[in-house]
């Protein structure tokens, strides 16, 4: 489903002459092709799933956020703005991000589903969250909230 959405978005961006969207969607499709090739090497002939694509989008956004910080530190606001525009295009293909209350609720559901009671059981809980909420939260930031909920 996301593949079709990406291909349609590329066509729409080309028609609208939105060059930022065109170049960003092409980058996404190139990265997707790389991920599909890696998946085929592991025996998955159908390519990566939509959930894996959401994880890929998250890593692409994280890379751009790191670049923005570096560009701003180097006094290159023009490049930081370009990276921010790419983030906005990538986010078009992701589900709505959960707010703080939504993250807390997801963690509570995960604790109930996995039976986690201590920080030692954080791994399975994080895996459950990633499987059920891919693309809906920043897992590097969620880890602290998970620790707090597990009494760590």
Q: What is the pLDDT of residue 152?
A: 64
Look at residue 87 in the predicted model and tell me its pLDDT: 95
Evaluate whether 24 touches 90 at the Cβ level (below 8 Å).
yes
| Parts of the chain belonging to CATH 1.10.1510.10 | 2-91
User: Is 26 a residue whose pLDDT tops 90?
Assistant: yes
- What pLDDT shows up at residue 18? 95
Can you tell me which residue has the tokens 């293909």? 93
Is CATH 1.10.1510.10 the right assignment for the domain spanning 2-91? Answer: yes
* Helix residue spans in 42-99 (DSSP H): 50-73, 77-91
> Does residue 138 register a pLDDT over 80?
no
* pTM confidence score: 0.73
Q: Are 116 and 122 in contact (CB under 8 A)?
A: yes
Question: Which residue spans of the chain are classified as CATH 1.10.10?
Answer: 100-149
- Kindly report, residue by residue over 49-107, the tens digit of the pLDDT: 888 888 899 889 999 999 999 999 999 999 999 999 999 999 999 888 888 888 889 88
Domain 100-149 has CATH 1.10.10: yes
Token digits of residue 57: 């989008």
Q: Which of 29-38, 39-48, 62-71 has the lowest mean pLDDT?
A: 39-48
């Amino acid at each position: 489903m996301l593949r079709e959405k990406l291909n349609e978005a590329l066509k729409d961006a080309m028609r609208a002459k939105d060059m930022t969207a065109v170049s960003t969607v092409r980058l996404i499709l190139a990265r997707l092709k790389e991920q599909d090739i890696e998946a085929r090497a592991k025996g998955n002939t159908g390519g990566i799933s939509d959930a894996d694509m959401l994880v890929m989008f998250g890593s692409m956004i994280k890379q751009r956020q790191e670049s923005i910080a570096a560009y701003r530190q180097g006094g290159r606001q023009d490049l930081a703005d370009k990276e921010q525009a790419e983030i906005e295009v990538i986010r078009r293909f992701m589900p709505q991000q959960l707010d703080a209350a939504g993250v807390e609720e997801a963690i509570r559901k995960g604790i109930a589903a996995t039976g986690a009671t201590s920080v030692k059981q954080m791994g399975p809980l994080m895996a459950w969250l990633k499987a059920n909420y891919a693309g809906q939260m920043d897992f590097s930031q969620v880890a602290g909230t998970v620790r707090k909920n597990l009494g760590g």
